[in-house]
Structure formats: C-alpha cells, structure tokens
A and B are shown apart, each in its own frame.
Chain A
Amino acid sequence: MHELSIAMGIINIAEKETKKANKKCVELIELEIGSLAGVELDSLEYVWSTAVKDTVLEHAKLKIDFKQAKAKCLECETIFEMEKIFDSCSKCNSHFKDILQGKELRVKLLEVV
C-alpha cells in the first residue's frame, strides 16, 4: 500500500515547512487529490492517524479537495469527465485529449501555529 509512503511524503513536507516558519505544529492541512492520482482516499485516511503520530501533523485537521478527472477532446472540444485515464471522448469517441484535471497530488495549504 503506497498510501503510507504518500502520508510520509506529506509529513515530510509539513515538518520542513513548519520548521522553516518557526512554528510548532499544523492546525489544518489541505490536500488536493485527483481521481487519477493513484491514491485511494480510504486507504490514506486509514493510515493517516498512525502515520502522523508524534509529528507536527498529529492534531491537524485533514481536508481533502478531491478533483474528478476531466479532459478536453482535441477533435470536438467537448469537455468530459473521465473514470479511467484511457477513456475516450464521450461525444465523438476520439482518444486525443488534453487532461484538464485529475492527476493532482499536492499539499495545497498549511495552517501552522
């Protein structure tokens, strides 16, 4: 389960930023996770409380901004939602598309005290 590594990556970022800001801990952390980022939200939440123990994130409120994947068809310009990365255009079935959102895996914001 790579969600533990993801949690560790988040902790790493939070520890560094908190230290850099000369603060003690994080009150709120906002993540941005796309539906095609390869992260199971349930699994992430499952490992979260164990992972953040004894870190600056131990008592932080976790807010996840989930982004449903969307693409724009390069043939007919339709904007459509994707379930899978290989989904074709919902209107003309073309495979040529620009992914607009859904691959996000970011720490968006930290509130530190």
Chain B
Amino acid sequence: MNRGNGLWRLIGITSLITTIVFICGFGFAMNDILNPRQAPSLGDLGEPEQSYVKDDVIHVTALGDSLTKGTGDSTGEGYVKQTIKLMEGKYDKPVKLLNNLAINGMRADQLVEKLKSDKGYRLAVSEADIILLTIGGNDLFRFARGGNAASKQDAAADNTAENEASSSQTDDDIEDQISLEEVKTNLAEGVGLLRQTLELLNSINPDARIVYIGLYNPFYDVAELRDGSLQVQDWNRAAYDVIHRYPNMLLVPTSDLFEKNLTRYLASDHFHPNHDGYAAIAQRIVQAID
C-alpha cells in the first residue's frame, strides 16, 4: 500500500505538471499563430558561419537552363556530371560539384535576376573554382516562353523511355512554332542579357574560370529551319565578343557537333541532347580547359 502511494504521487505529480505545461504550450501556440507579432529585427541571429569549403578540391558550380540540368539524358548525368568525371581523370585531383542550379526553361533575364538577389546563387558562384554555364537557348527560341511547348518538351524529356512516341510529332509542331523573324529580334536582347550574366558572374567571383557552352541548332535537319543556324552562329559570335575580353572565360562551341549527328546525339524530344550528346559536350569542355 505504501509503495502504491509513492508511485501514485510520482505519476500523479509528474503528469499533472506536464499536462499543465502542454496546455500552456497549446495556449502560446494559439496566440502565436492567431496574433503573429510583427517581425522583429533579425539582426540578432548571430554571425553567419564561416564557409568550410576545402581547398585541395576543385569545386564546380553549374548554372543555366535545361542543358545544364541534363534534360534528355536518360541516365540523369547530363554534361555536368560527365565533365566532372573526365576532369577527375585529367587533373588527378578530387573534383566536386557544389551545386547544379540549372532550372528547366531558364532564360538569361531570370538568371540575371537570381544572380543579383539570390544569396544561394551568389554563394554557390563565389565558392566555385569552375563555373559551367548554358544560357540563351530559351531566349533565342522564344517559343519556349509560351510555357506550354517548353514544359511539354521537358516532360517528354523527363521520361524518354516512356515517351518514345513523342518524337514523331515534333517536326511538324516545331515548324509552326518558330519563325526565324522572331528569332532575329530576340537575338539582340538576349545577347545583352548574356553580357550582364557574365559580368555579374565575374564580379561575384573574379577568380573562377567560367566556361560558357555555346548554342547549337537542333533543327538543322528541318530544311525551313536550317537558317536558324545562322542566328545560332550570330549568338555565339556575340557571346564570344564578351567572353574574349576576360582572361578567365572560355567559350566551348557545340554547333558543329550536332549538325551531322542530330539523330545520334539528340534525345527523343528533338531539342535536348541525349546521353551521348552530353558526353560529346563534356569531352569538349575538358579538352578546352587548361
């Protein structure tokens, strides 16, 4: 009986106190959610931690559009991961991907915006030794801006295995969607934004090597759109205009790779490279960097 008494006291008092604490917690939570105080100054959150990126490793940050994302590669590697593998072989040093911040359908103006304001982007850029960049494809072929066509292609590319059938519809659709006139007007604006992007990257991290992967014309085999290659070359020429001024920047051309190898190197969406196409790009990059 005595032991029962002690047990009861222990259980009773502990659980009574906890019950009261939990009821108070509930009250405070209700109060906090229903009457949120105005945001206090967040200055007292403590010093930001020092970054602890190691020195004996080559750090790579990849930025840009679906090409950098690796859309179309059924293994998911894209050119970024393949480049890193090849670089490890070349330098005999560990090479590490800090971030692949590519977003499907990204345009140069969006990237400029991110680089200006987004802390995460700036951090990833500032800590990189090598920056891999593809941008401009969506600016030049602005039909992607409509959203529908672009995301349809992304969706198709996401699961090439399931969507083999989609390749048959591409040729006719694409001709309807692209007018070369439109591409010409997009060119000037896009190049300006590319210049801004590169300047921003250089100002955030002047020590990093910046590798810009040039555009290619995925529609070279469509007779009406073959002239698009001229615009693509104009773009690459304009990009080189900016790039050759900076000793730490490099333009890796890709247009020649794809012209005669469209069926071999393009994914079923007839726009993005497939695994082999990305492998070819990765080889180019590793050959070109010093």
Are the chains A and B members of one assembly? Answer: no
